[in-house]
Chains A and B, each alone.
Chain A
Amino acid sequence: MTFKTVVFLLGGFFILAVGLGGAGAVEPDERLDDPVLEQRAREISQQLRCVVCQNQSIDESDAPLARDLRLIIRERLVEGDNDEQVIGFVVDRYGDFVLLKPPFQADTYLLWFGPFIIFLMGGLLIFYYFRKVLGAIPDGDNSDPGDREK
């Protein structure tokens, strides 16, 4: 493979990835006529995990269940529910697991604080390690050069 071919192929993959990345699975017949409500529906769908293909949001998933949920979200928005109520409707049935961004609450403290705790522990370890290493250097070496004459 020549250099040119490699560049060509990589470029092709890049264009494909960018092109496909933004596409949701929302079918034309699902869309609401009201662009504001439709935009809200898209934003809500992007926050909710599809329980069939779990690493996709229901906005991205082609699973029939994701489609049903997208339709329900739109129905509820048309009926006048706010965003929290719509998300609450899905969470009541499928649990916090469907929230792609985990909520900040008692049972998720470890998740949210865990990285900071580990960071702090690492920092403390480094601190004590270097204090020990520096402390192990004989007294004479880190004392004031002027003292040596005495």
Chain B
Amino acid sequence: MKRLGFYMPIALFAGIVVYLAIGLTLDPNKLPSMLIDKPVPEFVLPAIEGFDQGLSSSDLKGKVSLVNIWGSWCVACIIEHPLLMELAKNNTITIYGIDWKDPPGAGAAWLLKEGNPYTLIGDDADGRVAIDFGVTGAPETFIADKDGRIRYKYIGPITPEVWNEIILPIVEELQR
């Protein structure tokens, strides 16, 4: 009994330390998405300047796709851009773009300079659709399944490691 009274507080303290230490490794900016396993929010977005077609939620049905939230102002978007270009070139997966809060023409000019990986792009100038998606910053990428349901959300630029270790396995599973 005496032993227990001595060791229990130490064990309790150690437990709390481990618990809090795990908490420190989590990034508070990576909020879990409320949309997981839910249908994509209904939206119809116009085309960006110089493009004929915009993007609407009904476009996302039929095949597994990525919905990428980006903007010409977004510094981190340029990091993942070469990877998105490669995915588009190899027809690995259909990528849809939502141009978030860009001034008219800015998104189109950026794509002209950097290349366009998107099958369709919607112009979300006032950011309302991004809020329906629960977006906290750009870039953010959603994986939509064949039924147009959101299955995964990745916050931040997709690096080759993120693609190979996190996103590709989910996409392959959904494409089966």
The bracket for how many chain A residues form the interface is 10 to 19
Contacts of A54 in B (CB 8 A): 28-29
| A95 engages B127 (CB within 8 Å) | no
Stretch at the interface among A7-15, A29-37, A64-72: A64-72
| B34 engages A94 (CB within 8 Å) | yes
Task: Given A51-B31, A54-B28, decide whether A94 and B127 contact each other with a Cβ distance below 8 A.
Answer: no
Tell me, yes or no, whether B101 is within 8 Å of chain A by CB.
Answer: yes
Q: Which residue of A lies closest to B101 (CB)?
A: A64
How many angstroms from the CA of A69 to the CA of B137 in the assembled complex? 14
| A95 engages B101 (CB within 8 Å) | no
The bracket for how many chain B residues form the interface is 10 to 19
Majority SS of interface residues in chain A?
helix
| B34 engages A95 (CB within 8 Å) | yes
Task: Given A65-B127, A68-B131, decide whether A94 and B101 contact each other with a Cβ distance below 8 A.
Answer: no
| B31 engages A93 (CB within 8 Å) | no
Pick from B28, B126, B127, B137 the residue with the most CB of A within 10 Å.
Answer: B127
| B127 engages A68 (CB within 8 Å) | yes
Taking Cβ atoms with an 8 Å cutoff, the residues of B that contact A are 5, 28-29, 31-32, 34, 101, 126-128, 131-134, 136-137
CB-defined A-B contacts under 8 Å, sample of 6: A68-B127, A72-B128, A93-B134, A94-B34, A94-B134, A95-B32
Taking Cβ atoms with an 8 Å cutoff, the residues of A that contact B are 51-52, 54, 64-65, 68-69, 72, 92-95, 97, 128-129
